[in-house]
Structure 1
Amino acid sequence: MENVTESRLFPWKMLVFLFFIQLVIAFVARSLAPLGAVIGQDLNLTMFQIGLFPAALFLGQSLVSIPSGILTDKIGSRNMLVIISLLLSITFYLIALSSSFLMIFILIIFAGFAYGSSHPSTNKGVNSWFDLKKRGTAMGIKQMGVTMGSASAALLLLPLATSIGWPGALSVAASILLIFGIIFYFKYQEPEKLNTIKKTEIESNPLNIFLHRKLILITISAMLLSGSQAVLNTFIVLYAFESLSLSLILAGILLGIAEFGGAVGRLGWGWLSDNLFSGRRLIVLLIISVLVAVQSIITSLMPVGTPFYLTCIIIFIFGLGASGFNGIWMNATSEIVPSSLSGTATGVSITFSSWGAILFPPLFGIIRDYTGSYFWGWWLIVLLMIISTLALLIAVKSKNKY
């Protein structure tokens, strides 16, 4: 009985390691959002340049996601995640030593290589350890690591940066990742490989993934949701500081609350998709798109003097959707192909969806610089969510994969 219980619990033990490695990777890579204001002040950067920081990260992610997904399918999650931890740590040590915007921009692209590789790697780990009935919840838990890592960066690194400077804060974050990467290498185990009796059509020719109709439509939605998430994470601190007249510390807390909402959403949406919607991930993505549109409208209309507790509630719900969709998206992309290609499918979707985070934060910054207001920037998000909803409706009605 004890051995049976142990075998049932073992996947969840491995999920703990996947969760924490995802958390510390995000803690480092996504520290650029909360620290953007501090770095911008130190280097005298424009809003457009600050908006280029997350764009550079996701540009690197978009360039590496397909090859990293293919490599993950070949060498496994454990080996990939150790390599990722090492490369990301080294890159952020170098960023901490830099004072040139161009050099930092280039290094962030390299950081995006490592960060982008983490998603196919951890997703494959979840898909390998869990069956379809538990995968939504498991993926949601794992994806909570991203938002909790980002929230931790906002809550811990921003105050730390005001005390010891942003280079010191980045060095501390990189050191934490390096230490945990070593722990992960010795503690995490891969599941036993299953023998494939017969290859499906898509396994025989993986290039068919690029013609997968539902994958394309899901990726379009994910690109727009990713852009919304990147805008929220990049500009909520500046918006709260400039438009709502909050202190920089309170504005940083708002980012943490948004990311906490995302963490709750990643778990909650996954649980709902498993238990309430019987694994129908696209319906949940539709609900999320509508929710993000509504919250963006509300955010655009918030006046100066809005009670802080009410602002927190609004931004929490905004984050619940904009930063909470990722787990459902990862489930949707990895479940519509054979498990042996889950890393590749995830990589393909991440590659193209990353362009949302590349394009829309700078565009939001341009709108802010040109109009002198954040109002129309938030309505840009509303437009993106309308398009996302239409793409998902077509995907839901689509019966054929190709």
Structure 2
Amino acid sequence: MEYDNDHRSKRGIAIHWQMLLWLLAVQVLVAFVGRGLVPLGVLIGNDMSLTKAQIGLLPAGLFLGQALASIPAGFLVDHLGSRRLLLALSLCLGINFIASTFVTHFALMLIFVVLGGLGYGAMHPVSNRGIIYWFSQTQRGTAMGIKQMGVTLGSALSAVVLLPIAASFGWRTAVICAAFLLIMTGFVSFFQYRDSKNAPQTNDGHQLGQFYRSMWKLVHNKPLLLVSLSALGLNGAQMCLNTYLVLFAFEKMGIPLVLSGLLLVISEAFGSVGRIAWGVISDRFFNGERISIIMIITIISAITSSTMSFLPEETPFSILVPITAVFGFAVSGFNGIWMNLASELVPPEQAGISSGLSITIGSIGVMVAPPLFGLMVDITGSYSWGWLFITGLLSIVFVILLALFSFNKNTEREGE
């Protein structure tokens, strides 16, 4: 169903932007905790004597949990609404990450990270459904960009806040503090957030049958599958940048750890700007058309990744800043456009499960790419092959997007 005109009143506008702020708040804290593994990877690796590939397995474990949770969470939110699940996912991520700080074996820690990833992954379909019912077609790009900005903003904050805390008091203390903050935010959002009156909530006895019927339709939705495959590559590239940027700057370029962490902050900050900017560009200049925007993002990301591969050792911090900013603006800025596409390719009542399926497929890239990147560095002793691997991955993404663009054009011509 489309956006209710009653919400265009002054009071209505205030309400739906207020609800967006609560979705954003939880999104920021979920990323603050989950993505905190990235800037803390150096310290966790030193503390537990991990290889580069094992460090890459930490975000991979988080996104394995996301992949496992996204479809069930999408189904649940389509029937239960977003409010209750905001609290549940906050508890799931927070409690498991606190538990991970009490173990000393990497395998056991990885299990808790995967379990926490269930809560992390549930956030996307839960919040996406809120956007779909609170905002109209021509507002969703901007609203989704703002909400998705919470991921990069939370990640940037983790580098700014958690890395100094971890350097002074240990990474375990930093993770515990962040997790408690998330849990408190989850409780507050439960009492403050409300689902839109436009959003249907069904609790009948045929939910499982509806789930299977919905899934059968979605797995035969070619545009949705192509969008999800392109997200697989872009997600993998994004997480490789986030996971290894600090290590790359610290080890290859000889930049101090604090300044190396600042590069991650810059990348994520520009990624946050990108998530809003790409959404606004899509809404205002492309009339809600998303595919062309993702193609532009892919091209920029591939160029900057290739640039990173050819940078000589001891490249100054001042040179890395603009390259990192552009890279982050592109590859970390695509998510809002992706979430909109995944939600808009199906009827609104299937927005949760649609984004859940797309996130599950897209999460494969995050699980596979960082360990492969790290393995290449371990084998060759050079980061150049890792960055070129990302360039090759993005080239495949561009071909997939061309196929999607062509498919949509043919469908439009057949419908005329």
The alpha-carbon deviation at position 194 of structure 1 amounts to 5.3
Q: Which amino acid aligns with 2:123?
A: S
**1:252-295 CA deviation, whole Å, 9 max, x = no partner?**
11111111111011000000000011111000000000010000
- Taking only the aligned residue pairs, the percentage that are identical comes to 43
- Supply the distance in 2 between the matched residues of 1:137 and 1:112 (Cα, whole angstroms): 26
- Supply the distance in 2 between the matched residues of 1:100 and 1:248 (Cα, whole angstroms): 25
Unmatched 5+ residue regions in structure 2?
1-7, 202-209
- Supply the distance in 1 between the matched residues of 2:50 and 2:139 (Cα, whole angstroms): 46
Match of 2:137 among 132, 143, 151: 132
**1:303-322 CA deviation, whole Å, 9 max, x = no partner?**
23433222111101101111
- Supply the distance in 2 between the matched residues of 1:267 and 1:49 (Cα, whole angstroms): 33
Aligned pairs for 1:189-268 (under 5 A) are 189-193=194-198, 205-206=213-214, 207-268=216-277
TM-score by length of 2: 0.92
CA contact (8 A) 2:252 2:314 kept: no
Secondary structure at the residue paired with 1:31?
helix
The alpha-carbon deviation at position 4 of structure 1 amounts to 3.0
- Supply the distance in 2 between the matched residues of 1:204 and 1:235 (Cα, whole angstroms): 39
- 1:330 alignment counterpart: 339
Q: Which amino acid aligns with 2:249?
A: A
TM-score by length of 1: 0.96
The alpha-carbon deviation at position 195 of structure 1 amounts to 6.6
The alpha-carbon deviation at position 203 of structure 1 amounts to 9.5
CA contact (8 A) 2:78 2:352 kept: yes
- 1:199 alignment counterpart: none
The alpha-carbon deviation at position 107 of structure 1 amounts to 0.6
Q: Which amino acid aligns with 2:233?
A: L
- Supply the distance in 1 between the matched residues of 2:66 and 2:55 (Cα, whole angstroms): 18
Report which stretch shifted further, 222-231 or 392-401.
392-401
Aligned pairs for 1:146-161 (under 5 A) are 146-161=151-166
CA contact (8 A) 1:203 1:341 kept: no
Match of 2:299 among 264, 283, 290: 290
CA contact (8 A) 2:342 2:355 kept: yes
Secondary structure at the residue paired with 1:240?
helix
CA contact (8 A) 1:292 1:318 kept: yes
**What is the alpha-carbon root mean square deviation over aligned residues?**
1.7
Match of 1:393 among 372, 382, 402: 402
Secondary structure at the residue paired with 2:358?
helix
Q: Which amino acid aligns with 1:48?
A: A
- Supply the distance in 1 between the matched residues of 2:248 and 2:368 (Cα, whole angstroms): 19
- 2:4 alignment counterpart: none
**1:42-92 CA deviation, whole Å, 9 max, x = no partner?**
111111111110111111111111111101101111111110011111111
- Supply the distance in 2 between the matched residues of 1:204 and 1:382 (Cα, whole angstroms): 37
- Supply the distance in 1 between the matched residues of 2:153 and 2:315 (Cα, whole angstroms): 26
- 2:54 alignment counterpart: 49
The alpha-carbon deviation at position 193 of structure 1 amounts to 3.4
Secondary structure at the residue paired with 2:288?
coil
- 1:176 alignment counterpart: 181
- Supply the distance in 2 between the matched residues of 1:277 and 1:164 (Cα, whole angstroms): 49
- Supply the distance in 2 between the matched residues of 1:112 and 1:204 (Cα, whole angstroms): 24
- Supply the distance in 2 between the matched residues of 1:7 and 1:34 (Cα, whole angstroms): 40
